[in-house]
Chain A
Amino acid sequence: MASESPDPFPKTSDPVVLGVNYRTAPVAVLERVALGPARLPVEVRRTVEGGAAAEAVILSTCNRLEVWAVGTTTERLRDFAGGMTEAPELFQDSTVSYAFEGDAAVNHMFRVAAGLESMVLGETQILGQVKDSLAAAETAGAVGTVLRRIVEAAIKAGRRAQTETALHRGATSVASAAVELVRHIFRDLREKVALIVGAGETGSLVARHLIQAGVEKRVVTSRTEEHARALAAEIGGTVAPWAAVEEAVGEADIVVGCAASPDRVVGRDDLRRVLKRRRRGTLVLVDIGVPRNFDPAIDELPDVFLHDMDDLDRLVRSNLEKREREVPAVLRILDEVRDALRAEVAKERANPVIRGLVTRAEAARQEELARRKNQLAPEVYAAVERETKIVLAKLLHGPLEKIRQYAGDGVRGAGKLDAIVDAFDLGPLLAAEQAGGAGSPQTTPPAPSPADAGPPVAAAPPASKPGEAPS
């Protein structure tokens, strides 16, 4: 008869991922579905309280919206998830959304946390976003032991990928490549003077990268003085007059050209004249402008380095290729962490059933032995005790292996484990263990082994009283 005790292995405990991202949907669509920081905990709580999933984490970034859940199915999640966005039909459309279950879902979570699914391979911001999403779900009371363990393992895998591989290294944008190039010339940027030529969006972006790299002396110049002042105020710098841009270049160590100018801003001969008076050492110019701000002939001047968009593009491409070469090492780390997680979960599922089965079998054996103890001579009793132990060990060996196998087999295995629990009526035992020892470390008693029984001994005939025939 099926046990009425709580099912320790819910059939739908496999993880599920449902989402849309920059690969499957255009930016305009992603903009409509993005959840702000205020809405995120609300939606994740609603997902769990509304019965769509037992546990849930929602990851919402500018490039993806994903629901990571357990205790649900893809279909149930699709029906529910549409309600959290302004595009309810989105998650019903399998050409725009994607879904994973079980191992594939865990694999996807790990890949996302490691930066393998990001628009720029190896970007590190996503790991922080996954951590924040887990924190938001914790605050909303939407995550429990099962999903928490999986997401924490994904975060661990992502962190290991960052520290043990070079997946995240190397500049992958023009602005960061410009700074990286400058760092190959100057080790310490604190005492260097950086001049930004052009006060537009690119100038602002490059300036921020330079500040992050340690540049403390910032100068801005622009054809429109008002724009130069605005950018200088934004980055904590000073303004140089546009009319004296060559002099400003002469007094700088790093010059970034990002002005939208049809003509060259600085020519070679003008710069040569200024450099004669200069006592500052190496000068590096990075020309991000299209058309170029600086005369290419400037590159011929000694102690001057001039790099343009071609160089920066090559650097970015080279860095991305290096990141691609790190992917196999990252995948090995993900496999390691995932295998460890799988083994841990399987052990936790298997151990109570193993304990229950061994306990039930041993109890039956002890009951029979106790009944026969006074009827058998001591040496016969000892032999029976040994042999029954051997028989039990042989009988249980196969089923215990199967239990371990089913425990590591997700939802498929959970059903088979249930069948074993049912067949051997282990429900009450498991329920008692759960009720009595929840949260405390459980050890599995060693399963009886044929080796424990010692060498077989020939059975001696039972002692008989004088005059009585042996039984």
Chain B
Amino acid sequence: MRRAAPNRTLALWLGHWPVVAAGVAATEPAAVLERGRIAAATPAALSRGVRVGQRRRQAHSCCPELVTLNPDQRREQQAFEPVLAAVAELTPVVEVCVAGECAIGVRGPARYFGGEQQLTGMILDAVGGVLARQGWPAIARIGVANGINLARLAARHLTGNTHPAVIIPPGEEADSLAQVPVGALGDPDLGEVLGLLGITTLGDLARLEHSEVLGRFGPTGSTAWHLARGIDPLGVSPSSPEPQFRVRTELDPPAERIETLAFAARSAALELTERLGRHARTARRVTVTAETEHGERNERIWGSGSGALVAGDPTRELADRIRWQMEGWLDGPVSQRPTGGVVLLDITPEGLGPLTGTQLNLYDRPSESDQAVSGAVDRLEGILGQDSVRIARPAGGRSPADAFTRVPIRMPSGQQNGPRPPWPGAVPTPSPALVHDPPLPLEVLDSHGQRLEVRARGEPSGVPCRVVRDRHPLEVVSWAGPWPADERWWADGRRRARIQLVLADGSAVLATLENGTWSAEATYD
């Protein structure tokens, strides 16, 4: 048997896990809602037309008796522990991406059990047994590929009821995944823009040149392109542990109670976050190992596929995960339970990267902080009225007031996420920090004390010397412009001219002349 690549990974995916974890029977029509949309549903609900991604109202219209539930990260992780325990019987190191999904390195276990087919079969049986005891059908799906992200894509998109496991021969990942839609990569904005360019599947993406994709979409696009080409260097075994960031906590006396362990977990998580923060680094994965006084070990990798460990508050999320891992160990199957107290807690991050912005997420679960924000928005809308909480999105237009628009936060981000087209006649960046809508009264006077005018060709009638704002006169120190703008000349028409003015008190203002009257459209605060 040819030696498997070090990144050969088996990904296990349990569809609709949030609803399973809630303890709902498969025959009851129920669904878990996240941010107003269906995230998971029971087979009974699915058979009545409920679909993931639907809004609550839509779902109720095809299934009026649908019971809706809130997500609960803790409940989902705790319910997942028995499944993890079953997998851990076959291989000691498991990486958990999110409750309902995990991954293991294939090399060792496949050799031990006599092949990838055998290993896959054993995991399906073991997990199936755990699920059957809860009264659930076999929802386990497995993908095996060279790379954890490719394996997860395979588990989610290449499997089905009749073939719950797919093993992609090494090197054939690109071909096998070519029909998977780009939306599967978990980045809706990237998927949206790619879709507008006519690139709907991974196969389409793979046919582009890397330099084009990198230039247009940056590192996010580059990662997506590599996956589309079947290149995914990430496996489960730690590829680049960073010893200098490791946090080792010795517990003396040995800890036997979960509260003691939880406290140690919090301190250790905080220490790790600070160490990483001081070097402006983020970790893709964290390996958490606990050892007892009798030498028993429990090890798990907490990761999120290709993205950085967590958004929101990394310390609390990591501390929670360590706690769940310890709870699962202490309360798990008797055969795996420790016989002594924990004396050592070791946290080692790996896959360090710079603290940059968004990275690809292969799962689309919002973090707990996203859910908290959603709850706060609901409460505020109850107090202040609907649509009182907004977010700014690029619109189109020359004036600072038109360039962006405030939309209610619940509106999905739409077409506006590509680069904005240039608007001829717009005032150059930097943009003003304060935009006055409606504009504030302002008078602009020339050296003779007369109102400054801008002639037809965009020439000023003189030099702006003074402005009057709130009845206070202020000297103009320097200025720039005018920028004439002839907007909608084919319709009602708005002819405006703008100038930038730096005033004696250090402030700078964008003044606009329209219909013979000046006003302050914006202030460069």
Please determine whether chains A and B interact with each other in the same assembly: no
Q: Contact residues of A with B, CB < 8 Å?
A: none
